[in-house]
Amino acid sequence: MGLLYAENGKIYANEHLELYVPASYFDNGIAKNMGASMESFGVLYVRGYIDGQPGEIQLFNCPVIQTFMVYETRFDTIIVHGKKVDCLVLEYPKGSYIIHQTLPKGREVANRFLDTVLAGKLPNTLNYTDTLDLWWTNLEISGISYKVPSKIYEMILASIYRNPHNIKERYGQLYGKQTNPTGYDYKTEAVRAVVKDLSTFSGMIFEDIGTMISNGINNSITGVEENESPLEKIIHY
């Protein structure tokens, strides 16, 4: 039997359980404590307790902003895929109401997920290979289509996820070189930071010319080799 059950349009705890909300969500603006309830991005972690014994930590996978009821809370640190995650723990006694069964829909739901992706703020405990499916799930729930092929979503994710040892290299390149890739040893960056790190020229036309000029000077002084952007090639020739 699962940890949750539905009744009269609401989701309840089937056993005593705990939901773990990453503390980074509050810093990133995708979680907000409102006292008796809390709004949070629905990709969390959950653990049930049977006869007082803790079960395995599992992924609570619903990639939209949801409203969770709040009873007892505490702060704790959990280990997920070898990474320490500081969390706000929501405790739910058996039979307690957790969330409404109806999920929010509409363009705002899809756009908030898109903003989270572009800011590089998806949880760093997700497997790289699961991120595209997560995005499609969000679009399915929201009922929205951006009317672009899957390759566009793949390209965005490939750009956001970087090699932690060489930020100028996509994580997918590192993943493809590994004999037994884990899918967790990545670094994420906001799209603006990715552009800044890859090419001074691209960064200048992207947004903040002052920052990009400074960054370009620093790269020149330290001898950092930059990638040539497609637009630079057109202008040069």
The order of strands in the sheet holding 187-188 is 166-170, 161-163, 187-188
- What is the model's pLDDT at position 218? 45
Q: Cα angle at 80 between 79 and 84, to 5 degrees?
A: 45
Give CA–CA dist 215/202, Å, rounded. 12
- Is the pTM higher than 0.75? The answer reads yes
Give CA–CA dist 211/56, Å, rounded. 46
| Length reported for the chain | 237
- What is the model's pLDDT at position 49? 93
Q: Where are the domains of the chain?
A: 4-100, 104-189, 190-237
Residue recorded with tokens 């739910």: 92
Instruction: List 215's β-bridge partners, or say none.
Output: none
Give CA–CA dist 123/86, Å, rounded. 12
Query: What is the DSSP secondary-structure string of 95-151?
Result: T-EEEESSPP-SHHHHHHHHHHHHTT-S-TTS-GGGHHHHHHHHHHHHT------HH
Q: Which residues of 143-235 form beta strands (DSSP E)?
A: 161-163, 166-170, 187-188
- What is the model's pLDDT at position 225? 57
Structure tokens at 61: 């996978």
Contact 57, 46 (CB under 8 A): yes
CB atoms within 10 A of CB 97: 15
CA distances from 222 to 4, 70, 196, 216, 226 (A): 55, 51, 16, 10, 12
- What is the model's pLDDT at position 215? 46
Block mean pLDDT (10 aa), the chain, length 237: 88 96 92 93 94 90 94 95 94 96 91 89 92 95 89 89 90 92 91 67 47 44 51 39
- What is the model's pLDDT at position 235? 37
| Per-position b or e across 10-24, b if 16+ CB within 10 A of its CB | ebbbebbbbbbbbbe
Contact 126, 43 (CB under 8 A): yes
